[in-house]
Structure 1
Amino acid sequence: MALVPWKFSNPFVDPRQQTQRDLILGPHKYYHNGLYPANLQDGFYSVLNEAIRGSNLYIAYVWESGDSDLHNQRCIELGAGCGLVGLAAWLQGATVLLTDITDALPHLERNIRLNTDHIMKHTPEVVRVNPKLGRKDTPTPIPLVAESISAQTLYWDQPDTFPDEDGSFDIILGSEILYLPEFHKHLLSTFNRLSHSDTRILLTFKPRGFGEERFFRLAEHAGFKAQQVNL
């Protein structure tokens, strides 16, 4: 085992100092507000929360590919961070609730406003949902409503912070939320509270040896059916 000093690959660009990063999702441009809190008492969480991680990008591109029909689906994202995944689902017609801890809400709400304002201004008030693979129907124009995406505080171990719409979510999203094993049981309890019998739960993560495999054993023991897809 060796400790390798970590550094940015580009010595001339420090993403931590960028006020904004832009990504292209299909016909849309996603704006990531990169302003970091002045007081980083919990520097690890702050950087992790505001970073755009590989798993975020993957699931966002899955939505944009059109393989999933999200129109009229109620989605909730746990540990939303910068909100990229939930915003990508919103662009496909879902009604989305983004959740995170209280300290993350200002950053999350800034990203929502920045992106919805831009998209609603420069894009017609419809978004085209691509047909699923193998289907012959044409893309369907649907309304894109800024009020269909919102954010609120949610702590997995504090049931009083849960949304009023318990049990009404069709899709639960989570990207890189398995890195704290001590919260795995709380996360499963949260799944139970938010889901109904047909709810789909999509989790993306990079295996880091933080007990991810144990989490899925716990999930199956709790009655969830888990299927792992290697990327």
Structure 2
Amino acid sequence: MALVPYVENSLPLLSKFHNSSAQFRFANHNISLTQDWKKLGVAAVVWDAAVVMCMYLELGKVKLEKKTAIELGAGTGLVGIVAALMGAKVTITDRQPALDFLEANVKANLPSDSKGSAVVSELTWGEGLDRYPPGGFDLVLGADIIYLEDTFVPLLQTLTHLCSDSTVVLLACKIRYKRDTNFLSMLKTKFAVEEVHYDKQRDIYVYKAWKLPQRKDL
């Protein structure tokens, strides 16, 4: 997730982002996440897309037990934490400046007796991808990571690298601008894409994607 500097805003809608913590109940666990909008901006607050993604995971439509997952642009780490609590082995990633903050949230909310596990790792999309096994994950998770047009090409490159033919990608997002749908169009050049959930209250979509079979030259 991109790091955006803090800007004071008096809108009541944004007041929750200025709270120092956010509490949730997922996977039969109480989760308390530290937030720090002033220091890290959008990377350090919980967005609705992450909440809806966790709600979708709890529906049980995607198997998590003993699966290998990676979360992109993790921010506070909510989605990765919940996936681990539900039994996945999760690599939770973000850019370098957010890692200490992210690691603290993961350690504070993932008990030693959790069914799954989580590690925090640096990942800037499109860079250093050889540090991650190509096609090495059963599940790729991303909540509210589709919003900066400059990141679309490296994000697609990263997804293509991480996914095998059997990998499932889940993306939760709010469609704010035409450029957001432009990314979905880009994604469809490499992946089959299906809308699998819509949260009307929060106006958040969840998309499922999987790699299209490579065309063989005749």
TM-score under structure 2 length normalisation? 0.79
Aligned partner (choices 167, 170, 183) of residue 199 of structure 1: 167
Aligned partner (choices 103, 111, 132) of residue 105 of structure 2: 111
Equivalent position of 1:228 in the other structure: 195
Aligned Cα RMSD in Å?
A: 2.2
Q: 2:22, 2:46 within 8 Å by CA — same for their partners in 1?
A: no
Aligned partner (choices 90, 111, 119) of residue 150 of structure 1: 119
The separation in 1 between residues aligned to 2:67 and 2:186, in whole angstroms, is 27
Question: Could you say if the C-alpha distance between residues 179 and 96 of structure 1 is closer, same or farther in structure 2, counting changes exceeding 3 Å?
Answer: same
The separation in 2 between residues aligned to 1:156 and 1:71, in whole angstroms, is 27
Question: Could you say if the C-alpha distance between residues 72 and 17 of structure 1 is closer, same or farther in structure 2, counting changes exceeding 3 Å?
Answer: closer
Aligned partner (choices 170, 175, 180) of residue 138 of structure 2: 170
Equivalent position of 1:73 in the other structure: 67
Question: Could you say if the C-alpha distance between residues 173 and 6 of structure 1 is closer, same or farther in structure 2, counting changes exceeding 3 Å?
Answer: same
Q: 1:72, 1:94 within 8 Å by CA — same for their partners in 2?
A: yes
TM-score under structure 1 length normalisation? 0.75
Question: Could you say if the C-alpha distance between residues 28 and 218 of structure 1 is closer, same or farther in structure 2, counting changes exceeding 3 Å?
Answer: same
The separation in 2 between residues aligned to 1:153 and 1:26, in whole angstroms, is 26
What residue ranges of structure 1 are gaps of 5+ in the alignment?
A: 41-45, 127-143
Q: Is 1:186–2:143 an aligned residue pair?
A: no
What residue ranges of structure 2 are gaps of 5+ in the alignment?
A: 1-8, 200-218
Q: Which has the larger strand fraction?
A: 2
Instruction: For residue 182 of structure 1, report the CA deviation from its aligned partner.
Output: 1.4
How many residues get paired? 190
Question: Could you say if the C-alpha distance between residues 88 and 8 of structure 1 is closer, same or farther in structure 2, counting changes exceeding 3 Å?
Answer: same
Q: 2:35, 2:46 within 8 Å by CA — same for their partners in 1?
A: no
Give the partner amino acid of 2:23: D
Q: 1:153, 1:161 within 8 Å by CA — same for their partners in 2?
A: no
Percent same amino acid at aligned positions?
Answer: 26
The separation in 2 between residues aligned to 1:74 and 1:156, in whole angstroms, is 19
